[in-house]
């Protein structure tokens, strides 16, 4: 039996950006059995960060989170 090869395509497309109000975010891939371990990410000054597990992009809302969190 031959199994199909998995490609390296991200789970989320570029259009799946999540706009957030804080520089610190967490991602669990949607939770449940299809998720991944929860990771905490810090949005850099460029204004976005990508989850290393599922490629979901988090974008800082304009004017939000300037203080940097904790």
- Say how many domains are in the chain: 1
Buried-exposed string 35-70: b where 16+ CB fall within 10 A, e elsewhere? eeeeeebebeeeeebebeebbbbbebeeeebeeeee
Residue 8 has pLDDT above 60, yes or no: no
Range of the domain at 51: 14-60
25: CATH: 2.60.260.40
User: What's the whole-number mean pLDDT along residues 45-61?
Assistant: 93
For the cut 50, the answer to whether the pLDDT of residue 12 exceeds it is no
For residue 22, tell me if it sits in a domain: yes
Residue 6 resides in a domain:
no
- Of the pLDDT bands very low, low, confident and very high (cuts 50, 70, 90), residue 55 is very high
């Amino acid at each position: 039996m031959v199994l199909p090869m998995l490609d390296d395509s991200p789970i989320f497309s570029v259009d799946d950006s999540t706009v957030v109000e804080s520089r610190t975010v967490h991602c669990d891939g949607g939770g449940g059995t299809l998720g991944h371990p929860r990771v905490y990410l810090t949005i850099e000054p460029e204004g976005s960060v990508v989850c290393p597990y599922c490629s979901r992009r988090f974008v800082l809302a304009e004017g939000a989170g300037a203080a940097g969190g904790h």
